[in-house]
């Protein structure tokens, strides 16, 4: 964990020197929000669902977006996805992402999405431009935006905030003194709040939001991540997560370049192996030398998330595996979501 993240997870007094900067960030973001809300929005008749967060770092929103995309498709609607393409840099935007796109251009999350589901994916730092390109070039019924909660120029039909149940809101301070991009009160202005964690963690989130006006506990739900199987990066072979998928006595070499890797580690700790963890910054552009310098034992199973796998595929060996997971969404949330979406489409 980076030093700054340790500060964010500590008591607010630990970051006292950063409080003036946090106040400046709050003031600037408030002004920016007002300006962007008044600015001209991209006109589209297609419903736009934004899935984002109010804090920095990984909250598990991308797997939830993927699960929602499958759910919407199962109801007969055509889905498209827009993303900033964080970690990628293309010569010209907007960029349509294909399963064989270069991760250096598309970004890891966008490429993972393109490889995981057969729907159009368009990336652009300007999400309004990405939305226009997506709708102009494809027949789309519903657009899902991977993040973009604070991209207020993007007209949205529905907002879903995802909260990391393990880290919650840290010290509850704004950047850079804490992890918050927006106030916790923002939770009471969105359509749904999903906590990636247990019912106890969901109750903590509810208690935090209840301190502010317009609280409605019926809009808060939890999501539990379930591990499905390990997928081999070279040949796409699968091994079930349950039991002992690797040779007994193995020490899993765990690679992570994601915002909040603890959930990933917790899942792997359920297996009967020792773990050797190699933690890199979020969106780290992996090359083989990174793993060599870190001391990864290539004779042991090397395990990572799907997001990191798209960056390691070019130098993967036969014992490189990604863990495929599936968020379990509350049926009450899915029913309420579908009612709102059906109303927006028709």
What's the chain's length in residues? 346
85 and 106, same domain (yes or no): yes
Reported confidence tier of residue 88, pLDDT bands at 50, 70, 90: confident
Residue 123 and residue 200 in one domain = yes
Span 49-60, pLDDT tens digits: 999 999 987 788
**CA–CA distance, 147 with 50 (Å, rounded to integer):** 6
> Do 208 and 249 lie in a common domain?
no
Q: Give the up-direction half-sphere exposure of residue 197: CA atoms within 13 A in the CB hemisphere.
A: 22
- The predicted-structure confidence for 216-261, as pLDDT tens digits, reads as follows 999 999 999 999 999 999 999 999 998 889 999 999 999 999 988 9
The closest of 135, 38, 161, 25 to 78, measured between CA atoms, is: 135
234, 318 in Cβ contact below 8 A? Answer: yes
The pLDDT confidence band at residue 129, using thresholds 50, 70 and 90, is very high
Tell me the C-alpha to C-alpha distance, in Å, between residue 83 and each of 10, 38, 107, 147, 197.
Answer: 32, 23, 9, 7, 24
The separation between the first and the last C-alpha atoms of the chain, rounded to the nearest angstrom, is 46
- CA pair distance 247, 207, nearest whole angstrom: 45
- Specify whether 340 is located in the same domain as 294: no
Q: pLDDT digit string (tens) for 150-169? A: 998 899 999 999 999 989 99
Tell me how far apart the alpha carbons of residues 318 and 342 are, in angstroms, rounded to a whole number. Answer: 45
90 shares its domain with 110: yes
Element (H, E) at 302: strand 302-305
Residues 104 and 202 in one domain: yes
Within this chain, do residues 268 and 283 fall inside the same structural domain, yes or no? Answer: yes
- What is the mean predicted confidence (pLDDT) over 284-302? 96
pLDDT confidence bin for 337, thresholds 50/70/90: very high
Are 257 and 204 in the same domain?
Answer: no
Half-sphere exposure of 155 (CA within 13 A, CB side): 13
DSSP secondary structure, 120-136, as one string: -EEE-SSHHHHHHHHHH
Query: What separation in angstroms does the CA of 247 have from each of 237, 302, 319?
Result: 16, 13, 11
For CA atoms 19, 20, 25, 26, the dihedral sign is: positive
Residue 45: domain span: 3-222+329-345
pLDDT of residue 270 exceeding 90, the answer is: yes
Domain harbouring 10, CATH code: 3.40.50
Task: Tell me: do 232 and 214 sit in the same domain.
Answer: no
pLDDT one-digit tens code per residue, 176-225 = 999 999 999 999 999 999 999 999 999 999 999 999 999 999 999 999 99
> Would you say residue 1 has pLDDT above 60?
no
> Residue 39 — very low, low, confident or very high, per pLDDT cuts 50/70/90?
confident
The DSSP symbol for 315 reads G
Are 42 and 182 members of one domain?
yes
User: How far apart are the C-alpha atoms of 67 and 236, rounded to whole Å?
Assistant: 21
Claim to verify: residue 105 and residue 145 sit in the same structural domain: yes
Same domain, yes or no: 86 and 234? no
Residue 58 sits at the vertex; the CA angle it makes with 57 and 62, to the nearest 5 degrees, is 140
For helices 61-74 and 331-345, what crossing angle results, to 10°?
A: 60
Q: Sorting pLDDT into bands at 50, 70 and 90, what band is 85?
A: confident
Please give the tally of structural domains in the chain: 2
Residue 91: is its pLDDT beyond 90?
no
Q: Give the per-residue pLDDT at 230.
A: 97
């Amino acid at each position: 964990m980076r030093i700054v993240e340790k500060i964010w997870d500590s008591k607010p007094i630990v970051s006292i020197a950063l409080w003036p900067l946090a106040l400046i960030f709050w003031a600037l973001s408030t002004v920016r929000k007002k300006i962007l809300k008044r600015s001209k929005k991209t006109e589209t008749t297609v419903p736009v669902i934004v899935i984002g967060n109010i804090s920095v770092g990984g909250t598990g929103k991308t797997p939830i977006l993927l699960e929602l995309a499958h759910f919407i498709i199962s109801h007969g609607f055509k889905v498209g996805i827009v993303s900033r393409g964080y970690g990628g840099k293309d010569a010209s935007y907007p960029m349509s992402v294909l399963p064989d796109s270069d991760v250096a251009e598309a970004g890891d999350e966008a490429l993972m999405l393109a490889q995981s589901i057969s729907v159009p994916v368009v990336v652009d730092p300007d999400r309004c431009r990405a939305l226009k390109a997506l709708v102009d070039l494809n027949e789309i019924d519903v657009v899902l935006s991977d993040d973009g909660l604070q991209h207020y120029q993007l007209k949205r039909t529905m907002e879903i905030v995802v909260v990391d149940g393990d880290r919650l809101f840290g010290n509850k301070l704004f950047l850079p003194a804490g992890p918050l991009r927006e106030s916790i009160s923002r939770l009471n202005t969105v359509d749904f709040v999903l906590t990636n964690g247990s019912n106890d963690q969901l109750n903590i989130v509810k208690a935090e939001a209840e301190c502010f006006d317009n609280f409605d506990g019926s809009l808060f739900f939890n999501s539990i991540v379930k591990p499905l199987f390990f997928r081999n990066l070279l040949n796409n072979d699968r091994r079930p997560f349950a039991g002992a998928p690797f040779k007994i006595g193995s020490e899993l070499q765990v690679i992570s370049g994601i915002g909040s890797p603890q959930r990933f580690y917790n899942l792997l700790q359920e297996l009967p192996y020792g773990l050797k963890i190699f933690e890199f910054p979020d969106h780290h552009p992996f090359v083989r030398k990174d793993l060599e310098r870190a001391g990864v034992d290539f004779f042991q199973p090397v395990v990572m998330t799907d997001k990191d796998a798209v960056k390691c595929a070019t130098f993967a060996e036969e014992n490189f595996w990604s863990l495929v997971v599936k968020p379990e969404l509350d049926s009450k949330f899915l029913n309420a979501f579908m009612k709102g979406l059906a109303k927006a489409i028709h």
